[in-house]
Structure 1
């Protein structure tokens, strides 16, 4: 089967020889677990996941049509073989181009013009009505606490921690911790809505502040790594690990490229592409993404 691209994160974490099973199968993608690594196999007409590889769109129906949960999988010598009842599918990952899925870091000044454009475009999307997250006052306040934490990260980066005041920084970090505790694992599905919110937030946070070596922004990733284990699904945990190491999916990398270029005309299409993800995952993750840009204070 033709592989059109492989994530450098997934390729770097694959061992030379690994065995496992098909973890889950969907209409146009599937997940394979290989010695603890979750590998996502998607279609070439969809954004590449940082957790995996894309299969030629014409061949993907045959793969998902034959695979069932629990089918044996073996990775050896650069080739992934899935042993289904109807066929053996061979995917030569080593022959595919490897794409860098690392989140870029913002260089230079905060993009104020694109910030205003994001606020406008995200407002038009009506994300609160599209989210799969239960939306009582606590959910709204959790997202607002993330936005305030991001705003404090920006102040710390601009002025220095002492200029902002230790008490203010500590209060923002406590509120962020509470928001993470509330959101992790909250909702239904293989990636619950609360997890999608946090992953969208973490992707934008790394882009905005980690280029400035913000110790405060790093506190978010440390909080996530301490709170997540055992609190959510295996798929979410895999994405959290990738986020913690600085990786994101192709649709978010494309969105960040638009933001970095301050290309306001391309912004609606980039946001729409993210919004297409899953039933509510796109809307959920954009809630978090917008919070990092302080669009949802």
Structure 2
């Protein structure tokens, strides 16, 4: 039964149980859009479009779980006076950790080795060699908070770091390569950490993968949209690149089944930021931003 003493909050999409429980502790949580309240919650993967904004005229604040803003129509929210918060910073270190984990999974074949032992193959055969990471070049596409955290880790394990992005950052101690294909050519592992959106859609295409080459590996913890998946599948199936570690896909969770059949791919379910610590920090950030809006305190309103 609705609690008239608490403000109502609309869920625009399903959210994890821990977030729903935390929101329910403070708000009258609803999924009914017939009488929409002024507060709502979404996720980076669901986003918020102009049509939804038009259908919710009472909406004044949307809290987004996640750092990505590529599926949120910020100009439309701004035009309608709807504040939008999200959860940057809190997931940076865990996503960077996972990028390195995927790199080890596909380059040093840790996931494949686990399957090899579990299948009972060790008693009758030996795995073929993996590839050394120490001394190799890690190319990073996107040198924001997450890209820089990945770079620190890659350098810490003895890799040479180079990177690509829209603008050089002279203060960083890593080589800047303005041409993505050239970065792919000199990289042993190419890690994608750029934002999603129209500017980066299909950025890693067949030409970039060809430049990465038959001994190169791709790791994607950015968005599935930044890679031409048809070109990636062809490269993986034909040996155009050595392998890939993928946490994101063009269609989630219904990824192309051809990925599942490939032994040279480490697959993850958009899991890079999912740790107990990040979950707690994200929820705390969302609750604090909602409270700040209600009490007129400042918060990071990305639609302002």
Q: State the TM-score, normalized to the length of structure 1.
A: 0.25
Q: Which has the higher contact order (CA 8 A, sep 6+)?
A: 1
Larger radius of gyration: 2
Q: State the TM-score, normalized to the length of structure 2.
A: 0.24
Higher helix share: 1
